[in-house]
Every structure is written in structure tokens, then in C-alpha cells.
Chain A
Amino acid sequence: MSRPFVFLLRLALVALVLAFLFVPEAFRPLLEPFAPVGAPAIYDRASLLDLTISHLLIVVAAIVPATLISVALAILVSRPIGAEFLPLSRAIVNIGQTFPPVAVLALAVPVVGFGTWPTLIALFLYGLLPIFENTLAGLTGLQPAVAEAAKGTGMTGRQRLFQVELPLALPVILEGVRISLVIALSTATIGSTVAAKGLGEVIIAGLNSNNLAFVLQGGLLTGALAVILYDGLGEISRMTAARS
């Protein structure tokens, strides 16, 4: 597909999502056929805009610390002194992935109660692995000649890390963040089962009241946000990779 066409497509998708969030009423005729007779076609128990913002905030609040911790851990285990901790770190980071998200929620609720926290914990745990593995791959995948040159020119370990290894690993690290964000965005919907405020609420309400229109608007919004984020971050990571 040609660049201008892709650009227009992106713009159209963003415009559509914004239009739906700010003037959902305009979409009533489209959704009405999917709602049971007499039931509302647009979710009316909370503003869709508020739910979307809250959904995105939970995702960001989970992925930012997941990124910081994963990157720090990957840096540590890729240094000679940290190499011993590699298997242990892998195991810890993998735990998040082996539990199904529902199980994490179920385990977290008795400890931290209902609301936002169990969801944050689940998303955080799910976010670790892709970022950790990608950062590690980026840091250890340095071309041997470049690694040799960095040492040979007299850079200290810290200078090698910040001037050479991290900048060159950046596209791969961003790719990991991108994967984690998209996983978190969709996983966050099940957070509504433990009363986290987000788009899952719309879908669950739709399922409970047999209102397909609710399910559609919750699902499509989440999907559209995922596509926009995935695509936007992909563009950034391409820009950082252009030179290497």
C-alpha cells in the first residue's frame, strides 16, 4: 500500500474513534439494529470518553513500570556481573505469562481488594516478558565488530551501555513495549470483572443484558485503540531503526 494511502487510513481511524467518543449519539442509527427492542443502543451508565481514558491510564500505569523494571533487569543480566542471574530473572519474568490473566485477578483480589489494583498487577506481570526478552536480545545481539570497536576505542562499561548498546537496541526494545502495550490494552477489558473502570465494563454489561450493541461498541473501541497504538509505536520504532 502506498504511504499517503496508509496515512489517510490512520487519520480516518483516529477521527472515527474521536467522533464516537465525543458525539456517540451520532452513531445511534448504526448501532440500534443490534440492541434489543426498547433497550439503549449507546452505553448510558457512564461516559464512553471517561471509560476510555481510564482504560488507557490503567494500561500506561502498568506498562511504564513494567518497562523500567524489565529494561533494568535485562541490562543487569547482560553485564558480566549479572550473568549468573539470567536464569533466575527469566523464571521470574515468565511466571507472569504462565498464569492466565483471570487467575492473576482471582489471586490478587483477596490480597489487594476489588478495583484497579488487581488489574494493574495482572497487566504489569503480563508486560514484563516481551520487554525483558526483547531488551536482552537487543543488548546481546550487538554486531561483534561494533562491540569490539566500543571496547577498543576505550569506552568504559557505562559509556558502552549508554552510547552504543542501548541506542542500538532501542528499536528492538520499543518493539517489546509495543507488544506489551497491545496485550495490556486487550487484557485490561477483563479487569472490569473485578470492578476496574474501563471499556470491559461496556462489553460485560452488553453480555449480561444480551445487548449486542454494547458488546460491539466496547469491543470495537478497544480494538481500534489497539490498532492505533500498535501502528503509532511501530512508526516510532521504524524511525529509530532507520539508521542501523
Chain B
Amino acid sequence: MIRIEGLTKEYAGNAVVRDVSMEIEAATITVIVGTSGSGKSTFLRMINRLVEPTKGVVEIDGTDTREMKAYELRRRIGYAIQDHGLFPHWTVARNIATVPKLLGWDRKKIDARVHELLELLQLDPDEIAPRYPHQLSGGQAQRVGVARALAARPDMLLMDEPFGALDPVIRAKAQTDLKSIQDRLGSTILLVTHDMAEAIRLGDRIAVMSEGRVEQLAPPAEILTHPASDNVRNLVGDDDRPFRYLSLIPVSERTEEGTAEGTPIAADRSLYDALAEMIWSGREVLPVVGEDGSARGLVRRGALLDAARSVA
């Protein structure tokens, strides 16, 4: 668990992060969202002490981070950034091995870990491991950056706009993959983005930052249904709120008894996906199936619109 209290950073007397306090549960994703310049990166970088706080405390599992050497702290915390920052003179394998090498793991253990991580991130180890960063696509480089951050099994992962440089299609896949990796590994993730849609898709909780302050810290549904300030409301985008809300709810929550015709939708997809399918195929009712393809019932357009209206 991470406890942050009264965290403040001033540059030349100018506060860019002001008195931020929060507690972050282990094995959750907290997304920091806000406009550019709102202090998100500065906040994140104070946690691994790339920026030294002017005031305030960061405690990880009860230990004040100031009691550790900064480089030792950083080896315990995975860090992934927008332009991935892969070392251009090292192969992918050597890049991923960075922190394990610093920690003095033996060679065999490192090789096995690199192999395991490349597979976890759906990169073919034999093909990708010997490559240099300039021989990777943007999406591959981003995944190698995440693999490097995960290499030494850190309890915690800091990610600063990790998907910022990806095109929309690869970006959506990277988000889904991150979520499933986090499910599997149980990592505690603190992720910064300026994209509210991304925050809603990934976050267990969202912290909305504005001018260095956290204006609201809440689960996505609450951010959508009860925005705490105009800033938060603007960031969500009033017009988009019903759609964002639908994207949070799985089809299974509005599934009714019965049978329907046509291509079915999976129960774990979102109501947003169901609505899109209804619009495209001109249907009012979709059959719902489980993961194994078995019939679960149906979902109606009316139920779906009711759900969307509940945000207003």
C-alpha cells in the first residue's frame, strides 16, 4: 500500500503540485488524469524521487521513501514513459534485463525472465530479443518498455502516458493488454494520462488533477455520475458522459431471459459495444453468450438507453 500525504512541489516559489494526499491499495490501477501542465508528471516523479518533494511524505508499505537511497527505491518501482526511453545501444533482451542486472541476478535467471516477459507481452522472444530498439515498431517498443519496467517483479508500476505515442488501434489493444497483465500479476499501477476515455477504461480509481490539486478521487462510475467540479465535468465532456458510462458496464448486468436472432454479443463486452452493434446491424435485441459460447439470454436497446440515462 502507498500512502501519500501533503505532497507538494514548488519551483521558484510556484507550486506545481499542491498538498496532494491519497492512499493507494495494492493490486489496483489508479489513473491520474488532467490537462497538460496540471502537474501529473511531477506528482508521479515524486513517488520514485526523480523529483524531490518540497513538502510531504510518500510511504510504501509503511516505509518513508526518504529513508531509502533514491536508486534503490527506483529499482523497486517499475517506470514506463511515453517515448519508452529504450537504450538505443542495447538489444531488446539487454534493455529488459536492465534492473535485474543492476540488482545482480545471475545470468540464467535473467535470461529466463526476459523470455517469460517477452511472451507475456506477446512478442516472439527468438525474433525480438536480439533486435535493437530502432528495429522495432512503435507498438513493439512500447511493450518492450513495459517489459523492462516489469522485469524485476516490482510491487509497483509508475506509467507516464505510456500509450501517448501509439495510434488509436494499437493504443486500445495496449490498454486491454495492460489490464489483463495487471489482473494476472496483481501489480499496483499508477498511470498518468490526459485522456479521460483511457482513464475510465483502465482505472479502478481516477484522480482528476487541475492546477496541481487533486479535484476528485473516485471510481470511474462516480466521476461520470457525480463530477465534483466544473473542471472534472469538462474533462469528461458533457456530451460523451452517457457513452462513457455505457462503456463501463458489462452486457451481463443488463442481460434478460429469452432468446433472440442474429450474431450474439459476449457477456463480458460493454453496453457501449452492444449499442454499437445494434446501430450497425439495425437490431433492437441482441442474443448474449458466455465465454464458452453458451446462450445467456438477450439484451434490449431500451434497457441499455435506461442505463445511459441514469448518468444525467
In the complex, B169 has a CB within 8 A of chain A: no
Report chain A residues within 8 Å CB of B184.
Answer: none
Question: CA A214 – CA B99 in complex, angstroms?
Answer: 62
What residues of chain A lie closer than 8 Å to B99, measured between beta carbons? Answer: 153-154
Interface string of A148-159 (1 = CB under 8 A from B): 111111111001
Within 8 A of B (CB), among A113-149: 143-149
Say yes or no: is B243 at the interface (Cβ < 8 Å to chain A): no
A199 close to chain B: CB less than 8 A: no
Asked if B50 lies at the interface with its beta carbon under 8 angstroms from chain A, I say yes
In the complex, A167→B90 CA distance in Å? 10
Closest B residue, CB atoms, query A146: B85
Query: Looking across the interface, which residue of chain B has its beta carbon closest to that of A244?
Result: B88
Q: Is the CB of B87 within 8 A of A145?
A: no
A144, A146, A154, A164: which contacts B74 (Cβ < 8 A)? A154
A153 touching B89, Cβ below 8 Å: no
Taking the nearest CB of chain A, how far is it from the CB of B219, in angstroms? 29
In the complex, what's the smallest C-beta–C-beta distance from B1 to chain A, in angstroms?
21
In-complex Cβ contact of B50 among A144, A152, A159 (8 A): A152
Quick check: is A168 within 8 A (CB to CB) of the other chain?
Answer: yes
Q: Do B72 and A154 touch (CB < 8 A)?
A: yes
Q: How far is the CA of A143 from the CA of B148 in the complex (A)?
A: 18
A243 within 8 A of B: yes
Distance to closest chain A CB from B148 (angstroms): 7
Residue of B nearest to A159 (CB): B102
**CB of B72 to closest CB in A, whole Å:** 7
Within the complex, what minimum Cβ distance (angstroms) separates A143 from chain B? 8
Q: What residues of chain B lie closer than 8 Å to A151, measured between beta carbons?
A: 50, 74
A146-B88, A243-B134 given; A154·B50 CB < 8 A: no
Minimum distance in angstroms from A118 CB to a CB of chain B = 41
Q: Is the Cβ of B71 less than 8 Å from the Cβ of A154?
A: yes
Say yes or no: B81 contacts A148, CB within 8 Å. Answer: yes
Give the contacting residue for A153; candidates B79, B88, B132, B134; CB below 8 A: B79
Contact with B along A200-217 (1 / 0, CB 8 A): 000000000000000000
CB distance from B217 to the nearest CB of A (A): 25
Specify the chain B residue showing the minimal Cβ separation from A163: B87
A145–B85 CB distance below 8 A: yes
Contact residues of B with A, CB < 8 Å?
A: 48, 50, 71-76, 79, 81-89, 98-99, 102, 132, 134, 148
User: What are 29 A-to-B residue pairs whose CB atoms are below 8 Å?
Assistant: A143-B85, A145-B81, A145-B83, A145-B85, A146-B87, A146-B88, A148-B50, A148-B81, A149-B84, A149-B85, A149-B86, A149-B87, A149-B148, A151-B50, A151-B74, A152-B48, A152-B74, A152-B79, A152-B85, A153-B74, A154-B75, A154-B76, A154-B102, A155-B102, A164-B87, A167-B89, A168-B88, A243-B88, A244-B89
